Chain A
Amino acid sequence: MKTNQIILHAAVAAALAAGSTAVWAQGKKGVVKIGINETLSGKFVAVGTPPSVAIRLAIHEINDKGGFKVGDTTYTLQPVEVDNRSEGPGVVAGMTKLIEDEKIKIIFGPTVSVLANQAQEMTVPAKVIHLSAAGSWQSLGYLNDPKKPLLFGTQNPLNALARTEIAAVKELGAKKVAYFSADDDTTKGNMGPFLAEAKAAGIEVTTILFPYATADFSSFVSRAKAAKVDSIHFLHPQNSAPNVLRAAVELQAIPKGFSGRQTGAAAALKLAMGKPVPVPYVSAQSTPDLDYPSTPKVKAYAERLRNTGIDLGYNVTFSFFTYDFVHMMAAAMTKAGTVDDTAKIAAVFGSMTYDGVAGKICFATNPRASQYDGTLVSVRNGKVSAKPVPSPCK
């Protein structure tokens, strides 16, 4: 991790040095600090790394272009990153540093629900604009709470995600599905909308929750088989999906196939069995897909992300939970005419539509969750097809 951070620091520094020849406007200059409180080590490191790298990439790009204007001042962004080590005390210590020591007014993360819940307890009283993809912010009502107007969800609304997931289940033709996920806050936040959408679609659901640190899924898959399900739908942790898929194939538990949230095509093409799995597979994504890009913008973004030289692993699409929102925040500050008045910036940020890499991005009002392009990625007989799920923003 440290090596990765050093590489990224070096890349950003080199880029900034190169950018010193870029067009720097005459007049005043300023710096806006962007806080990042993420799981950069510990058990959730694979979740926190992609959003963190994407923030740094976006900041690098904004600065490389000379920054952004607010009034007659040109601002650049400065990332201040803390590693919460995937632990609650680390989140609190990190937020203390960002809010009290660094006086930062815009903070991203953590992405993991249980940690994000703790984090917002510190950012709300400090009147900090706080962004996270945590599903629990929606399910616990934080994003509907008028007392928390500066919290923004950077994932699609849970009911919209559930609709995409049910579309994946329908694509398999399954009528009875086992819902697989870790027994934690993230699942508690996402399961309700899924069950509601499934009921509306006439799909019967058997819920199978497992301990987060499960290595062998045979028993859980056998339980699903005993319940005579047509398919398995997998929520999280996404990097366990290939293991569950392999177990399900070998135990002949999924006659109609396998679907998952944000599980990607690679699980079915290679990771589960080293070759394409012999069952239909659909990944319901709340973001565009980087391997099967839907637009030239996504394709170019995937290239830029790869050029950072950092292996973002299985959860690379989690980078969409932050990347566009850094650009959007800079645009909001320009439009609001301030970098200090968080209420004013949040009002503009929450009501604007931004044309980003992930399509047209805007915030729903209740909950205050962002909306952008999703994708249904299907794998059948080793052939991949991707179907965009367009953003509703105009």
Chain B
Amino acid sequence: MNEQVTVFLQHAFNGISMGAVYALIAAGITLVYGLSRIIHFAVGELVMLGAFIALSVWNWSGEFWLGLAVAVPALALIGLVTERAVFRFTLREPLTGFIVSLGLILILQGTAVEIWSPNPQYSQPPLEGSWDVAGVLLRKQAVVNFAIVVAVLALCYLVLMKTTFGKSLRAVSDDPGAAALMGIPVRTIIMTTFVIGSALAGIAGWMVLTLGLITPFVGAIYVLRGFAVALIGGLGNIQGAALAGIGLGVAESLAAGYVGPGWTDAYVFGAVVLILLWRPTGLAGGSEGAKL
């Protein structure tokens, strides 16, 4: 294969694997927003907690994969607790929920610093090396991460589109009042989306751990990208989040590979601003007419 093409494909794959993680985080954001209209800005800290919980499990057991198995239910539980203890009181005023989520950032960061120290922590995921596909090196862990994201998002899609629960969820997203009149337990459905959204953050946290380095402040990297992806994909649109996540990852990677790499964030978020000026509800539509 032509060397330039190989290099381009290498950058594209690097971006797809990272973009998959963004998509996962954005899916959680978009689920929660679609039903509660709450902009849950502490999702980055949920990702961070997922990473640290997985790290602790790995350090304790020596089993890297066990970290994933524990982080997901642990984060689901945290999602349940935060919804029951905090967010359910803000459902009538989503802006209050947003402010509360900002406070949660500090609380969760401080908790992580106390438990795990502010110092960087390292992991060494067991899958090392890469597969050579026509000169493009696919890092094994990145391929596995991508496969997990595809499976998880496909499952989310199937649940949303093919199950009674999914129909209820979409009904609540479209019109909570009408859904309630039809006998759908709106509060329970909303609580469940917080649980699912947090569990997705748990999976994303484990994936962030596979990158090698985590700190209690790592959430900031992901929350901005997660929201950018959710906005581009259209708030409330899970398919849009998946595509926009991959798109953002590839855009970042190509910027790092071909233009001034130090300004990668500026190029990418500049493009996000332009897209949102052009299509305020995202490329795939969203927010007003949720596409759950």
Contacts and interface: CB of A to CB of B under 8 A. Distances in A.
Q: Do A and B bind each other?
A: yes
Interface of A: 1-4, 41-43, 45-46, 49, 182-183, 208-211, 213, 215-216, 218-220, 222-223, 225-226, 239-240, 242-243, 246-247, 250-252, 270-275, 311-314
A143 B64 CA distance: 49
Interface string B108-119: 000001100111
A209 B120 CA distance: 21
B215 interface: yes
> Which of under 10, 10 to 19, 20 to 34, or 35 or more describes the interface residues of B?
35 or more
A216 B18 contact: yes
Contacts of A45: 118-119, 217
A219 B137 contact: no
B288 interface: no
B253 interface: yes
Given A209-B262, A219-B256, A3 B120 contact: no
A208 B264 CA distance: 12
A273 B122 CA distance: 10
Contacts of A270: 124
Contacts of B265: 211
Contacts of A271: 122, 124
A107 B272 CA distance: 43
Given A216-B14, A272-B212, 17 more contacts: A1-B113, A1-B118, A3-B114, A41-B118, A45-B118, A45-B119, A183-B261, A215-B18, A215-B221, A218-B142, A219-B15, A222-B14, A250-B130, A250-B137, A273-B128, A274-B124, A311-B117
Closest 6 CB pairs of A and B: A183-B262, A274-B124, A313-B119, A209-B262, A219-B256, A218-B14
B218 interface: yes
Contacts of B261: 183, 208-210, 219-220, 223
21 contacts: A43-B217, A45-B217, A49-B119, A210-B264, A211-B262, A211-B264, A215-B18, A216-B14, A218-B139, A218-B253, A219-B256, A220-B256, A222-B10, A223-B261, A226-B7, A239-B120, A239-B213, A243-B212, A246-B212, A272-B212, A311-B119
A275 B260 CA distance: 34
B252 interface: yes
Contacts of B208: 215
B77 interface: no
Nearest to A313: B119
B257 A219 contact: yes
Contacts of A182: 262
A273 B123 CA distance: 8
A226 B256 CA distance: 12
